[in-house]
Amino acid sequence: MRALELKQMRKSYQADIEVLKGIDIVIEPGEFFVLVGPSGCGKSTLLRMIAGLEEISSGELYIGGAYANKLKPSQRELSMVFQNYALFPHMTVEQNIAFGLHVKKLTKVEQSQRCQEAAEMLGLTPYLKRKPRELSGGQRQRVALARAIVTQDPICLMDEPLSNLDAKLRTKMRSEIRQLQRKLGITMIYVTHDQTEAMTMADRMMILNQGEVQQVGKPLDIYNHPANTFVASFIGAPPMNMVNGYIQNGNVHLPCDTTLPKIHQDLAGEFTIGIRPEHLVRATNTDEATLHATVTNVEMLGTETLINFQLTEKLQWTARWQGQHAVPLGEKVSFAIKAEDLVFFDDQTKTNTFLEGAEVI
């Protein structure tokens, strides 16, 4: 296992166009670290810089404590799995898996042994003599994984490896990759634009937007305490509900003729106020009710129901209720909102007012 350290890593393709704007992070040995963000945010570029496939414009990269900026990709002792599998169509599965072993100067017996072990680990033993065209998408992805792990490099980089698979297979492969990483104990850096993948797989994750780090932390910490409105809207499906409001005399005022009494005594002024859909629970009596709204759409997903309602003329919110709820469209529904479930973002900077741990009363 090896650690990686990035110090003020920057990437520019032109003098006035900076793609990555000073990335600082330490990735611990054996950690499953996920880079997540929208398309074009720079996450794949950062991964390629770690791999040595892109030149580092400025900053420092350390692999296992050693300065690695000038090392060739082959000298960095890492493997990489690409989005498009990158398999050789004229080679068998066995030849594809063992392709990278010849540079390690292993004997043919050692190469065969490693190949058999990797194939057995990933359920590929029956397909070793087949060509890639004879495999399904999930099987091809397993071949790419086997080729990466057979080298036994301490670091593995993955660039959106599941994006070409269907939803059911993606879910299965997520679990397999995570279990494989734990079993091998390797340091894995995984790039995805899918926040569900990031939440379910990561030990820690870094959220990027327009080349800048938005937040780094454990998935649930980020979900429960988003650093800013971008993170709040990007992490979570459905995303956090947000609206502009203000606090006066401890009362939170929403722009829908709704006042939440005595939410916070220490704040005053205008804020962007957020709440997760699962925290919009149905009021069981009139005393609990703090928000009344008209239902505009209902999505029953089996285990849960998504309720859309009109908060203001131009703004809809979503509530997530566990179970199956056949709520008629147009029905007036009352919600109960707890003070501790609200998140307050500074109206100017859009950053979380209580990220440092101040309590909401």
- Give domain status of residue 358, yes or no: no
Print the domain residue range for 160.
4-231
Residues 44 and 142 both lie in one domain: yes
pTM here? 0.89
Residues 255 and 168 both lie in one domain: no
Residues 184 and 311 both lie in one domain: no
CATH number reported for the structural domain that contains residue 200 in this entry: 3.40.50.300
Residues 217 and 134 both lie in one domain: yes
Residues 195 and 54 both lie in one domain: yes
Query: Domain end: 211, 231, 251, which one?
Result: 231
pLDDT at 329: 93
- Give domain status of residue 356, yes or no: no
pLDDT at 24: 95
pLDDT at 357: 41
Residues 159 and 48 both lie in one domain: yes
Query: Domain end: 170, 204, 231, which one?
Result: 231
Residues 178 and 315 both lie in one domain: no
- Give domain status of residue 218, yes or no: yes
- Give domain status of residue 355, yes or no: no
Residues 70 and 120 both lie in one domain: yes
- Give domain status of residue 160, yes or no: yes
User: Would you write out the chain's pLDDT as a tens digit for each of its 361 residues?
Assistant: 789 999 999 999 887 789 999 999 999 999 999 999 999 999 999 999 999 999 999 999 999 999 999 999 989 999 999 888 889 999 999 999 988 887 777 888 988 998 998 898 888 999 999 999 999 888 898 898 899 888 889 999 999 988 888 888 888 889 988 988 998 899 999 999 999 999 999 999 999 999 999 999 999 999 999 999 999 999 998 999 999 988 888 788 888 777 776 665 577 888 999 999 999 998 887 666 678 889 999 999 999 999 999 888 888 999 999 999 999 999 999 888 887 888 999 988 899 887 654 333 3
Query: Domain end: 231, 264, 291, which one?
Result: 231
CATH number reported for the structural domain that contains residue 251 in this entry: 2.40.50.140
Residues 273 and 148 both lie in one domain: no
Q: What is the 3-state secondary structure (H, E, C) of the chain?
A: CCCEEEEEEEEEEECCEEEEEEEEEEECCCCEEEEECCCCCCHHHHHHHHHCCCCCCEEEEEECCEECCCCCHHHCCEEEECCCCCCCCCCCHHHHHHHHHHHHCCCHHHHHHHHHHHHHHCCCHHHCCCCHHHCCHHHHHHHHHHHHHCCCCCEEEEECCCCCCCHHHHHHHHHHHHHHHHHHCCEEEEEECCHHHHHHHCCEEEEEECCEEEEEECHHHHHHCCCEHHHHHHCCCCCCEEEEEEEECCEEEECCCEEECCCCCCCCEEEEEEECHHHCEECCCCCCCCEEEEEEEEEECCCEEEEEEEEECCEEEEEEEECCCCCCCCCEEEEECCHHHCEEEECCCCEECCCCCCCCC
- Give domain status of residue 354, yes or no: no
Residues 211 and 289 both lie in one domain: no
31 close to 186: Cβ distance less than 8 angstroms: no
Residues 58 and 165 both lie in one domain: yes
pLDDT at 359: 37
- Give domain status of residue 172, yes or no: yes
Question: What is the number of domains present in the chain?
Answer: 2
Residues 103 and 209 both lie in one domain: yes
pLDDT at 257: 74
- Give domain status of residue 360, yes or no: no
